[in-house]
């Protein structure tokens, strides 16, 4: 369902490629959820909640282990 990246980290093309990949995956999940009875808005809101919780967990793990913060080290961006 998800193809591997074909561009180098930090490139604008890689960011576009990732956005397209995530958009496709979300569309697929949203449609599947809707077909079995979930409302689209509640499903998408839950994706946001779960993604934020997973990011917080990654951030906490990096603080505990002293690892590099979550983000793209190539361009210096770090996620909250």
pLDDT tens, position by position, 28-57: 999 999 999 999 999 999 999 999 999 999
Identify the pLDDT of residue 66: 87
Asked, for residue 43, whether it belongs to a domain, the answer is yes
Q: pTM for the whole thing?
A: 0.72
Asked, for residue 75, whether it belongs to a domain, the answer is no
**27 lies in which domain range?**
12-66
Number of structural domains found in the chain:
1
Asked, for residue 59, whether it belongs to a domain, the answer is yes
Q: Is 34:44 a contact under the CB 8 Å cutoff? A: no
Asked, for residue 78, whether it belongs to a domain, the answer is no
**Strand (E) or helix (H) holding 72:** strand 71-72
Cα–Cα distance, 51 to 80 (Å, whole number):
12
Q: Which residues pair with 71 in a beta bridge?
A: 78
Cα–Cα distance, 33 to 46 (Å, whole number):
12
Cα–Cα distance, 18 to 6 (Å, whole number):
10
Asked, for residue 6, whether it belongs to a domain, the answer is no
């Amino acid at each position: 369902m998800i193809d591997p990246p074909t561009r180098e980290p930090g490139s604008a093309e890689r960011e576009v490629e990732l956005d397209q990949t995530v958009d496709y995956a979300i569309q697929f999940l949203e449609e599947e959820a809707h077909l079995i009875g979930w409302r689209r808005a509640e499903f998408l809101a839950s994706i946001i909640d779960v993604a934020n919780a997973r990011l917080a967990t990654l951030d906490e793990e990096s603080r505990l282990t002293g690892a590099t913060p979550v983000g793209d080290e190539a361009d210096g961006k770090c996620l909250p």
